[in-house]
């Protein structure tokens, strides 16, 4: 339902990688409640990492970081750097995992700013938990994901008794 958010993938990224990153981002966004994206102006995918963190796969720029309109930056160079590019299926899986984990993590940062409900010391921990939660929702949408999570729940319930 949040298809009107702007997703801008740099031409250099489109030329370099065969993945349709915009499509995969929009697919990932399907499980994110619309109100968590309020005031988020855009999602940018560029090749180079942000200046303040050369290892970052993504970064959130809110009002505190000086952005007039909050946005998320994803960095293709780091997202794709550790893939076995000679193994296309493994690369595709790894790419989807990293992309979703990073995107949901940064949306988690946006959400905590919107709600003001999280102390600064807990921002990272909270964003990680937010990402895990969203990934879980997303994988439950697919048949294979449902089986994996169904099994995990089954064994957890056994362990609990
Ligand atoms: Zn973070």
- Reported as a single tens digit per residue, the pLDDT across 27-50 is 999 999 999 999 999 999 999 998
Q: 68 CA to middle of ligand 1, Å?
A: 20
Q: 161 CA to middle of ligand 1, Å?
A: 35
Q: Give dist(CA 129, CA 135) in Å, integer.
A: 10
- Reported as a single tens digit per residue, the pLDDT across 129-143 is 999 999 999 988 888
Predicted confidence at residue 21, as pLDDT, reads 96
Task: Grade residue 159 by pLDDT with cuts at 50, 70 and 90.
Answer: low
Is the pLDDT confidence value at 81 over 60? yes
Better pLDDT: 145 or 75: 75
Q: 21 CA to middle of ligand 1, Å?
A: 21
Containing 115, the helix (H) or strand (E) segment is: helix 88-115
Ligand 1 is a single-atom ion; what residues have CB below 5 A from it?
A: 127
Q: 89 CA to middle of ligand 1, Å?
A: 28
pTM: 0.88
- Angle among Cα 135, 140, 21 to the nearest 5 degrees reads 50
């Amino acid at each position: 339902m949040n298809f009107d958010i702007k997703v801008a993938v740099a031409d250099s990224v489109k030329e370099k990688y065969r993945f349709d990153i915009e499509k995969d981002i929009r697919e990932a966004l399907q499980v994110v409640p619309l109100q968590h994206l309020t005031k988020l102006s855009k999602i940018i995918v560029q090749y180079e990492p942000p200046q303040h963190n050369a290892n970052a796969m993504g970064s959130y720029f809110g009002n505190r970081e000086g952005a007039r309109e909050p946005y998320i930056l994803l960095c293709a160079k780091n997202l794709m750097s550790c893939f076995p590019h000679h193994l296309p299926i493994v690369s595709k899986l790894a790419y989807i995992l990293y992309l979703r984990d990073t995107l949901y993590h940064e949306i988690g940062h946006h959400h905590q700013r919107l709600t003001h409900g999280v102390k600064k010391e807990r921002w990272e921990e909270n964003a990680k938990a937010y990402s895990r939660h969203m990934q879980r929702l997303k994988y439950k949408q697919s048949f294979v994901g449902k089986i994996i999570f169904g099994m995990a729940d089954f064994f957890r319930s056994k362990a609990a008794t």
